[in-house]
Amino acid sequence: MHPCPTTYELTSSPSHTDPELQRLLESTWSERHDAGVGFRYHLQIERERIAEGKFHFLILLNCKRLTERRQPQAFQLDAPFDPARFNFTRVDPAEVQLELCSPTPTTILINNSPVTVYHSLVVPDRMGQHAQLLTPAGVRVSFELLLRLPDRRYRIGYNSPGAQASVNHLHLHLLRIDTDLYVQWAELLPVRGIPLLHRLADHLPAQGYCFVLRNPTVELELVCSGLMWLIETLAGRQMAHNLFWTWTHQAEGVEMRAFVFPRVSQCVNKAACSFNAAFLELCGFVSVGEVNDFERLTEEGIVQALREAQGDVYGTLNDVLPVA
């Protein structure tokens, strides 16, 4: 018998954590994973290491994610939703973990080709069939989820079309990462004229921008609207982008950072490959599917790949996002 999804109403305020939400996310994922229901493989990290260097890239070997995952779709930033192609209205009902009722109807699905434990997909308004461009609801629910989960190891990521998104149906990735990543302590420079927005310092591996949220009660609306403005600005310039939400401290929720990594040129997914420059890699977490990549990748090689994938972001956007 396949497990049934649970309907769940989030607590009224994101200023309070919700242990029951976390329990449901983890138990519904584990039940399916342990029973082999919905997953393409049993998650098994074969090897892992920290790359030598100052940024401490975490490199994992997960061969089955390369060989067993669904082949990515090829589509560009302005591609409309196509109901004839695979989308998340077509998933096996057993893949549905939770149906969240508020603040906007949101479906939590297992990621059937997981990178980490509890790797799930967050699909706002699943039946609305939105293309893979972030909406205000998608931005808001990302903050709402992380604010409510007591375990600060949870992160959320997003790949736009042209930036390694593999399905043209609005979704984000929720996953638990047990290792600190360089973006949690990365040096940030204020951006002139935009409250709470910063830019990563030039010496860091990736070029990107970051909204810093310290007081959700006061700042959440401002950060959400600022983040949507930035996303819409990039879309208007046909610039693909990756996003990543993380707490800076795992022991306690001191500060949340929401990163945006623009790309000067879009890429087209033609096939699954061992190393992709997507939201995880840009933030210091590298999952590869081939032993040679696992053994040979260096910090220098990873940084070079990230910079080639992004191009000169700061030069391209200096007219609208100057450093203070």
Whether residue 156 is predicted with pLDDT greater than 60 in this model: the reply is: yes
CA–CA distances in Å: residue 73 to residues 69, 89, 129, 167 = 12, 16, 16, 6
Q: In what order do the strands lie in the sheet with 285-288?
A: 47-50, 58-61, 285-288
The pLDDT mean for the chain works out to 92
Q: 323: which strand partners? A: 191
The whole-number pLDDT of residue 253 equals 59
Residue predicted with more confidence, 15 or 277 = 277
Cα gap 311→211, rounded to integer Å: 21
Q: What is the mean pLDDT of residues 220-240?
A: 97
CATH number assigned to the domain comprising residue 156: 3.30.428.70
Cα gap 306→115, rounded to integer Å: 19
- Decide if 30 is inside a domain: yes
- Decide if 7 is inside a domain: no
Nearest residue to 313 via CA among 229, 178, 200: 200
pLDDT in tens, 14-64: 778 999 999 999 999 999 999 999 999 999 889 999 999 999 999 999 988
CA angle 311, 313, 316 (to 5 degrees): 110
- Decide if 6 is inside a domain: no
Cα gap 204→303, rounded to integer Å: 9
Domain total in the chain: 1
- Decide if 128 is inside a domain: yes
Name the pLDDT band for 72 (thresholds 50, 70, 90): confident
Q: What is the mean pLDDT of residues 268-272?
A: 56
User: Structure tokens of 2?
Assistant: 């396949």
User: Structure tokens of 168?
Assistant: 């043209």
- Decide if 324 is inside a domain: no
Q: 213: which strand partners? A: 256
The whole-number pLDDT of residue 66 equals 79
- Phi, psi dihedral angles at 121 (to 5 degrees): -110, 135
User: Structure tokens of 121?
Assistant: 């997909």
The H or E element containing residue 97 is strand 96-100
- Decide if 2 is inside a domain: no
- Decide if 3 is inside a domain: no
pLDDT in tens, 82-113: 999 999 999 999 999 999 987 689 999 999 99
Q: Would you say 247 and 229 are in contact if contact means Cβ atoms under 8 Å apart?
A: no
Whether residue 10 is predicted with pLDDT greater than 90 in this model: the reply is: no
Q: In what order do the strands lie in the sheet with 197-200?
A: 6-8, 96-100, 106-110, 120-124, 172-176, 154-159, 241-247, 256-262, 209-213, 197-200, 188-190
Whether residue 11 is predicted with pLDDT greater than 90 in this model: the reply is: no
Whether residue 227 is predicted with pLDDT greater than 60 in this model: the reply is: yes
Name the pLDDT band for 273 (thresholds 50, 70, 90): low
Q: What is the mean pLDDT of residues 105-126?
A: 96
The whole-number pLDDT of residue 324 equals 75
Whether residue 272 is predicted with pLDDT greater than 60 in this model: the reply is: no
The whole-number pLDDT of residue 172 equals 98
pLDDT in tens, 157-171: 999 999 999 999 999
Residue predicted with more confidence, 54 or 324 = 54
Neighbouring CB atoms inside 10 A of 76's CB total 13
Percent of the chain scored above 70 by pLDDT? 94
- Decide if 145 is inside a domain: yes
List the domain range (segments joined by +) for residue 290.
14-317
Instruction: State yes or no: cis peptide before 103, omega within 30 of 0.
Output: yes
Name the pLDDT band for 269 (thresholds 50, 70, 90): low
